[in-house]
Structure 1
């Protein structure tokens, strides 16, 4: 956590500009950082306005980068991405826009690969238990249930 140091608005602004430059941030993260720096609400609002005006903060850009990254790197499904973006207080418009970043063919291909990989990992003789274990894994990662069960019925006979 940050020390007991006090910050002027300019100092705090520089700190969060660097914070935002390092990687895309959502409004909530920056607001929480400013609160941790013990900034008063009026100063927080002033700094937030500056960050948005200077394009350090852009909710839609953050949501798109987040969705692309979590899908490509962590192989999350849309439900998990939506849940995480809502947790970060991202608007519905930005969430919908972010989901457009995911190519539908890549999405289905990733589900297929993830399902095959998980089926190979689950050492369960009973076909129903095996399906349930694989389904639980995919559902936890945010894949839509209808797609999960379709894919399982296709791959496990």
Structure 2
């Protein structure tokens, strides 16, 4: 399945001028390069990649790209399905959830309220690049974690 991304919409159509994020994409979160003020930003973590299918709907006058298939987060507090809103320059998503703070081998994780903001900017080659910032609102992982993200069309 081909991915479609940077296709300005015809202004004569029923949908607003914007972007379409539709098709299969390989999405990467560069967790190995994360930074921030939280102790979690210093904990080693591998990058994670998954293939997701996105579908954009602009019927309401606002373009929303929804993940319609792909791996779910291992954290049950992450909202599903993932939905990104086109703001005129990038795809964005904000959500509240519970950060599962790793406390070391054999120790139970500490769950703490968190707020994330993710954005993806379309690139000329059809891919998207952006950032994922999470503010952890207390507990032993209090602070923020930021990592780069990308989505590449799977042709």
Task: State the TM bucket, normalised to the shorter chain.
Answer: under 0.3
Structure with the bigger percentage of strand: 2
Greater RCO (Cα-Cα under 8 Å, separation 6 or more): 2
Structure with the bigger percentage of helix: 1
